[in-house]
């Protein structure tokens, strides 16, 4: 499997702030890769390094087989970028900006441009200063999606879009997915969006990757929550390793269970007799919150987070 | 009074945001007239000496064009007259400050953020105008106290201080009106500055007419700058023009408030029209984009320079006529090489002023690059197949060639207007065009300093204006204070030939151009290496 993006030990400091602290990341060619993290985690800094706008202090980054800093111009022919906060030239119309950016990238699919304008319901004749935030975002999105490129780098692209347009965006990304040859790096903190679109995910915190893999992989690393109505009290449950937050009341139990202990916990339940059972895989949101919950626990840098992934 | 709730807090916000900039321009401008006292005292220690100087200057069209009319020969009057350009500088800073805190706030959406808090409808406008007017009053007081400390009469000193303050008030109110008209701060700034330039040109045309035939001397009365100069500090201290200025300020503020009541936040009274749905075939390169972004600026500067050229060219002949009428003056004229010599030196002086103004354009065009990167406009362009140097090159073309176009326009206009009065268009056009173009190497040095700062120390880019301010200061007071030659040599303008009429040697022009090229190359090398700022 080839890699569209690979970073190793990426470090970037701004004054005393360490924005990136040894970031490891790998995006496979042809996948939609979610890049998750709260504000200030280092997502935008990473993207700016990948685009050659900022130089890393240490570590290496590879983009489409080249060096993002020294081969910037050549690489940029093969990618399109949508910033999180799009500003447009006040005296150029949206249509002009779409065409200009497309041409400077090396070409625009006219048919696709018209199609996207219609789907996103954008009036291309307005001047840049007259667009709302959501409409400015659409201009940049259409410019990127209508370009014939191998890699789309999207930095929180849906901020400011309404739910209808958000759905249009998801549809457009699914189209890309079906084509199969385009790689998408989607930075976001909208978890449902990432959950709906992404093949694999990297979660970063304080400038380091704390989790990476498919959503299924990640779920595997965490707990399923179980609620059940039982015929009799389930005495052995509390003693089982891997069972957490157990509440038992009037023949109802609820608990979270580690994936490796799921089988033994269910055996325990069926042994008692199950009347009803609800099992819920952890949502990405829960995963995310749990990862960030640990922040206060002073997880040892280096070993702690890494071990979590390797477990 | 609900409409003004929160004004006090907004004033504090403005003071916090402008805590460096505002004191800087207020003090910088206030120091200039105080410096004139020492310089004029040094040059003309006796009353007789001042009288001769005043007699000559009062009828020198070039001086009258630049500073205004001179009616007496006391030290105070000469200082006030020499400071005649200061109301324009005050107007400029005032306009920039008011627009920055009104229309700019709306365009960026910050006004909306504040507007949703407990802030009255007119509080933003009121705070901007009030703060700027008080800043102008402080400036006036500094001038008055400074001049009194130099033993000038108190009444006249206060008259001059209030003349400056009143000019500031009128332009603050004017800017408040203009800020209501357009949705973009950039257009608002342009409109206000064009009006400022027009008031200067009206004053200039009227005053020059007054020392000649007087046919259109009433033009000065159409100009706020003309009004405040009619206060005549130290020479009568007439207070009624001050009342006129205060009245006009009040009316303009009222108009601004009325206009602002008639529109929505964020919109302007001049509606913006829809544009093309797709880009023209030519809009496909960084250069084409730069042309779109710079063409308005280039046109404005070229037209402005052509107008100045017409004025300077039109005035030159009358300087020569004066030399023939006035015996004392004629003696001086004979020494500098006859009437032709006087006219040439007058034209050369005008061209020197144009050269300094052209550098302002060059720096403004360079700072557009900084503006593009901090506003986030550069990021999408640089993430296409456009390298940094190509991106910068598009803008720098205007930095280095834009002033050439402007100077060419002024040279042509001077040549045609002066040539037609002297019945020698064919001869004067090439001389004056060459003279104007000879300013370019010095303009390029200042532009290159801005490029150097932008490339290597981007946060300090605006310091490029400081370099121009230093050259301007040396130009305005250097000769009068008799600074050492090495101090004068710091300014690239010192090394230019005085054309037309002066001797030309290639060396300084070549050296200045080489210095400019070297500075620009270092700046661009810095740009390739550094991080682009996060918008």
Q: Please, which residues bridge with residue A187 across strands?
A: A35, A155
The pLDDT confidence band at residue B331, using thresholds 50, 70 and 90, is low
pLDDT of residue B211: 80
Residue B524 covered by a domain: no
Q: Count other Cβ atoms within 10 Å, centred on residue A116.
A: 21
Residue B339 domain flag: no
C-alpha to C-alpha distance for B133 and B172, rounded to whole angstroms: 7
More confident residue, B341 or B86: B86
Q: Does some domain include residue B468? A: no
Nearest-CA distance from A168 to chain B in Å? 21
Burial class (CB in 10 A: 0-12, 13-18, 19+), A182: buried
Residue B443's pLDDT is 97
Q: Is A265 on the interface with B (CB under 8 A)?
A: no
B118 touches chain A (CB under 8 A): no
A129 CB within 8 Å of a chain B CB: yes
Nearest Cα residue in chain B from A53: B532
Chain A CB contacts of B534 below 8 Å: 44, 48
What b-and-e string marks burial along B397-430, b requiring 16 or more CB atoms within 10 Å of the CB? ebbbebbbbbbbbbbbbbbbbbbebbeeeeebbe
Q: Is residue B527 part of a domain?
A: no
Radius of gyration (Cα) for chain B, nearest Å? 24
Mean pLDDT of B21-37: 91
Question: Are residues B186 and A51, on separate chains, in Cβ contact within 8 Å?
Answer: no
- Quote the pLDDT of residue A299: 39
By C-alpha distance, the chain B residue nearest A105 is B384
Chain B partners within 8 Å of A130 (Cβ)? 183, 272
Q: Which residue in chain B has the smallest CA separation from A141?
A: B380
User: Could you give the residue ranges of the DSSP H alpha helices within A23-120?
Assistant: 43-50, 72-76, 94-105, 110-120
Is A76 in contact with B107 (Cβ distance < 8 A)? Answer: no
Of A55, A106, A153, the CB nearest to B385: A106
Residue in B511, B522, B397 with CA at minimum distance from that of residue B454: B522
Angle between helices B440-456 and B388-421 (to 10 degrees): 160
For residue B205, the model assigns a pLDDT of: 82
How many Cβ atoms from other residues are within 10 Å of residue A248's Cβ?
15
Task: Determine whether the interchain pair A87/B279 forms a contact, defined as Cβ–Cβ distance below 8 Å.
Answer: no
Inter-chain CB proximity B284 and A87 less than 8 Å: no
Task: Give the mean model confidence (pLDDT) for residues B497-511.
Answer: 90
Instruction: Specify the pLDDT at position B457.
Output: 95
* Cβ neighbours of A123 in B, within 8 Å: 274
Cβ–Cβ below 8 Å for A91 and B293 = yes
Q: How confident is the model at residue B531 (pLDDT cuts 50, 70, 90)?
A: very high
Structural domains counted in chain B: 1
- Which positions in chain A touch B112 (Cβ < 8 Å)? none
Task: Nearest by CB to B272, from A81, A89, A127: name it.
Answer: A127
A91 touches chain B (CB under 8 A): yes
Q: How far is A51 from chain B (nearest CA, A)?
A: 6
How far, in Å, CA of B166 to CA of B178, rounded? 18
Q: Which helix (H) or strand (E) holds A147?
A: none
Domains of chain A: 3-218 (3.40.50.300), 223-281 (3.30.70.120)
The CA distance from B504 to B476, in Å, is 23
Query: Nearest C-alpha of chain A: how many angstroms from B274?
Result: 5
Over residues B176-189, mean pLDDT? 87
Interface membership of A76 toward B (CB under 8 Å): yes
User: Residue A260 carries which DSSP code?
Assistant: G
Given an 8 Å threshold on Cβ–Cβ distance, is B380 in contact with A103? no
Among A247, A246, A255, A253, CA closest to A232? A253
pLDDT at A260: 82
Whether residue A86 lies within 8 A of chain B, CB to CB, comes out as yes
Residue B272 burial (C-beta neighbours within 10 Å; 0-12, 13-18, 19+): middle
Q: Which of B183, B275, B535 sits opposite A85 (nearest CB)?
A: B535
Residues 469-498 of B with CB under 8 A from A: none
Q: What is the pLDDT of residues B333-382, one digit of tens each?
A: 555 556 677 788 888 888 998 999 999 999 999 999 999 999 899 999 99
User: Residues A239, A208: contact at Cβ < 8 Å?
Assistant: no
Is B387 buried (19+), middle (13-18) or exposed (0-12) by CB count in 10 A? middle
Asked whether the predicted pLDDT for residue B119 surpasses 90, the reply is no
Whether residue A85 and residue B183 make contact (CB cut-off 8 A), yes or no, is no
Query: Per residue in B396-423, pLDDT tens?
Result: 999 999 999 999 999 999 999 898 888 8
Asked whether the beta carbons of residue A101 and residue B380 sit closer than 8 angstroms, the reply is yes
Is B61 inside any structural domain?
yes
Tell the residue number behind the tokens 């800087």, with chain if given: B24
B278 touches chain A (CB under 8 A): yes
* The pLDDT of residue B397: 96
For residue B218, give every residue at least 6 positions away whose Cβ sits within 8 Å of its Cβ, in sequence order, or none.
Answer: B206
- Tell if the CB–CB gap between B277 and A127 is shorter than 8 Å: no
Asked if B384 contacts A148 with a C-beta cutoff of 8 angstroms, the reply is no
Task: Sort residue A298 into left (φ over 0), alpha (ψ -120 to 50) or beta.
Answer: left
**Mean pLDDT of the B42-52 span:** 86
**Residue B149 in contact with partner chain A when CB distance is under 8 A:** no
pLDDT along chain A (311 residues), means of 10: 90 91 94 90 93 93 94 92 90 92 89 95 90 92 92 92 93 89 90 89 91 82 84 82 85 86 88 88 76 52 35 31
Does the residue B457 lie in any domain?
no
What are the φ/ψ torsions at residue A168 (nearest 5 degrees)? -60, -40
On the CB side of B279, how many CA atoms lie within 13 Å of its CA?
25
Q: What is the pLDDT of residue A306?
A: 34
What is the C-alpha separation between B473 and B453, in angstroms, rounded?
A: 21
**Are the beta carbons of A76 and B531 separated by less than 8 Å?**
no
Give the CA-trace dihedral at B263, B268, B274, B276, to 10 degrees: -160
Residue B411 in any domain: the answer is no
A44 touches chain B (CB under 8 A): yes
Mutate which: A11, A48, A53, A139, vs B, most B CBs within 10 A: A53
Taking an 8 Å cut-off on Cβ atoms, the answer to whether A104 and B386 are in contact is yes
State which residue of chain A sits closest to B375, comparing Cα positions.
A87
Which residue is it, tokens 């500088």?
B89
Residue A308, pLDDT score = 35
Give the residue from chain B lying closest to A117, CA to CA: B277
Which residues are CB-neighbours of A239 under 8 A, at least 6 positions away? none
B69, pLDDT greater than 50: yes
pLDDT tens, residue by residue, B187-239: 888 889 889 988 998 898 888 888 877 777 888 899 999 999 999 999 888 99
Residues 6+ apart with CB under 8 A from B430: B415
Q: What contacts 24+ positions apart, CB below 8 Å, involve A112-120?
A: A112/A145, A112/A146, A113/A142, A113/A146, A116/A141, A116/A142, A116/A145, A116/A146, A116/A172, A117/A142, A119/A168, A119/A171, A119/A172, A120/A165, A120/A168
A186-to-A69, A169, A170, B29, B376 alpha-carbon distances in Å: 21, 12, 11, 53, 20
Does B6 map to a domain?
yes
Closest CA of chain A from B145, distance in Å:
44
Tell how strand A17-28 and strand A58-63 pair up: unpaired
Which of A39, A90, A112 should we substitute to test contact with B (largest number of B Cβ atoms within 10 Å)? Answer: A90
The parent domain of residue B85 ranges over 1-269
- Indicate whether B395 pLDDT > 60: yes
The pLDDT tens digits of the residues spanning B273-327 come to 788 888 888 888 999 999 999 998 899 899 889 988 987 887 777 666 666 666 6
> Is some CB atom of chain A closer than 8 A to the CB atom of B286?
yes
Q: Any chain A CB within 8 A of the CB of B274? A: yes
* ipTM value for the complex: 0.79
Query: Read out DSSP for B202-246?
Result: HHHHHHHHHHTT-TTGGGGGG-HHHHHHTT-TTTT---HHHHHHH
Chain A CB contacts of B380 below 8 Å = 81, 83, 86, 101, 140, 143
Residues of B in contact with A86 (CB under 8 A): 376, 380
Inform me whether the pLDDT recorded for B70 exceeds 70: yes
Chain A nearest C-alpha distance from B263 (Å): 15
Strands A58-63, A183-188: pairing is: unpaired
For residue B333, is the peptide bond before it cis, meaning its omega torsion is within 30 degrees of 0? no
Confidence of residue B530 (pLDDT cuts 50, 70, 90): very high
């Amino acid at each position: 499997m080839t890699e569209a993006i690979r970073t190793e030990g990426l470090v970037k400091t701004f004054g005393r702030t360490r924005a990136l602290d040894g970031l490891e990341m790998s995006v496979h060619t042809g996948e939609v890769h979610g890049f998750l993290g709260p504000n200030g985690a280092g997502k935008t800094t990473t993207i700016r390094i990948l685009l050659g706008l900022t130089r890393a202090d240490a570590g290496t980054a590879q983009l489409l087989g080249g060096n993002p800093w020294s081969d910037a111009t050549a690489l940029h022919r093969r990618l399109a970028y949508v910033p999180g906060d799009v500003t447009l030239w006040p005296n150029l119309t949206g249509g002009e900006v779409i065409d200009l950016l497309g041409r400077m990238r090396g070409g625009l699919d006219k048919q696709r441009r018209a199609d996207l304008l219609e789907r996103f319901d954008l009036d291309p004749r307005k001047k840049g200063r007259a667009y709302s935030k959501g409409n400015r975002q659409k201009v940049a999105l259409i410019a990127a999606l209508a370009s014939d490129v191998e890699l789309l780098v999207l930095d929180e692209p849906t901020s400011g879009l309404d739910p209808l347009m958000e759905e249009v965006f998801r549809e457009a990304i699914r189209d890309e997915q079906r084509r199969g040859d385009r790689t998408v790096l989607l930075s976001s903190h909208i978890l449902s969006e990432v959950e709906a679109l992404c093949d694999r995910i990297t979660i970063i915190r304080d400038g380091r990757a704390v989790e990476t893999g498919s959503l299924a992989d990640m779920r595997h690393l965490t707990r399923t929550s179980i609620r059940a109505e039982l015929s009799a009290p389930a005495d052995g449950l509390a003693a089982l390793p891997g069972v957490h937050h157990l509440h038992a009341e009037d023949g109802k139990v609820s608990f979270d269970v580690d994936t490796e202990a799921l089988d033994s916990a269910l055996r325990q339940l069926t042994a008692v007799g199950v009347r009803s059972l609800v099992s819920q895989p952890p949502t990405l949101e829960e995963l995310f919150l749990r990862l960030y919950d640990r922040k206060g626990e002073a997880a040892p840098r280096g070993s702690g987070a890494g071990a979590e992934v390797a477990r | 009074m609900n409409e003004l709730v929160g004004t006090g807090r907004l004033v504090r916000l403005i003071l916090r945001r402008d805590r460096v900039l505002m004191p800087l321009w207020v003090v910088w401008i206030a120091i200039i007239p105080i410096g004139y006292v020492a310089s004029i005292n040094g040059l003309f220690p006796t009353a007789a000496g001042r009288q001769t100087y005043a007699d000559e200057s009062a009828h020198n069209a070039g001086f009258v064009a630049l500073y205004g009319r001179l009616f007496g020969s006391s030290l105070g009057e000469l200082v006030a007259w020499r400071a005649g350009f200061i109301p324009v500088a005050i107007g400029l800073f005032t306009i920039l400050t008011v627009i920055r805190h009104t229309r700019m706030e709306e365009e960026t959406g910050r006004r909306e953020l504040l507007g949703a808090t407990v802030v009255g409808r007119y509080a933003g406008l009121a705070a901007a105008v009030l703060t700027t007017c008080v800043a102008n009053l402080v400036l006036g007081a500094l001038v008055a106290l400074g001049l009194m400390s130099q033993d000038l009469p108190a009444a006249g000193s206060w008259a001059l201080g209030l003349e400056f303050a009143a000019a500031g008030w009128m332009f603050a109110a004017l800017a408040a009106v203009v800020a209501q008209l357009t949705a973009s701060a950039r257009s608002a700034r342009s409109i206000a500055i064009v009006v400022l330039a027009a008031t200067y040109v009206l004053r200039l045309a009227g005053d020059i007419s007054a020392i000649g035939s007087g046919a259109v001397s009433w033009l000065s009365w159409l100009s706020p700058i003309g009004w405040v100069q009619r206060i005549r500090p130290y020479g009568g201290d007439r207070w009624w023009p001050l009342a006129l200025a205060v009245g006009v300020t009040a009316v303009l503020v009222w108009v601004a408030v009325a206009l602002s009541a008639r529109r929505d936040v964020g919109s302007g009274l001049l509606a913006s029209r829809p544009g093309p749905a797709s880009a023209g075939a030519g809009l496909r390169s960084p250069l084409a984009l730069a042309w779109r972004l710079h063409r308005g600026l280039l046109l404005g500067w070229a037209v402005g320079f052509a107008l100045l050229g017409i004025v300077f060219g039109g005035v030159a002949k009358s300087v020569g006529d004066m030399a023939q009428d006035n015996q004392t003056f004629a003696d001086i004229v004979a020494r500098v090489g006859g009437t032709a010599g006087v006219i040439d030196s007058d034209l050369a002086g005008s061209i020197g002023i144009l050269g300094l103004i052209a550098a302002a354009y060059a720096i403004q065009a360079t700072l557009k690059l900084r503006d593009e990167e901090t506003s986030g406009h550069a990021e999408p362009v640089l993430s296409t197949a456009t390298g940094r140097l190509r991106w910068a090159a598009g803008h720098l073309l205007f930095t280095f060639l834009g002033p050439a176009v402007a100077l060419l326009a002024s040279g042509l206009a001077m040549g045609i207007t002066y040539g037609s009065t002297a019945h020698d268009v064919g001869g004067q056009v090439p001389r004056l065009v060459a003279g104007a173009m000879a300013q370019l190497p010095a303009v390029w040095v200042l532009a290159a300093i801005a490029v150097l700062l932008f490339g290597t120390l981007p946060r300090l880019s605006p310091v490029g204006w400081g370099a121009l301010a230093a050259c301007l200061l040396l130009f305005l007071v250097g000769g009068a204070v008799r600074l050492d030659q090495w101090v004068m040599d710091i300014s690239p303008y010192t090394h230019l030939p005085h054309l037309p009429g002066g001797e030309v040697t290639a060396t300084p022009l070549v050296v200045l151009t080489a210095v400019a090229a070297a500075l620009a190359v270092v700046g661009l090398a810095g740009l390739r290496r550094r991080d682009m700022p996060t918008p």
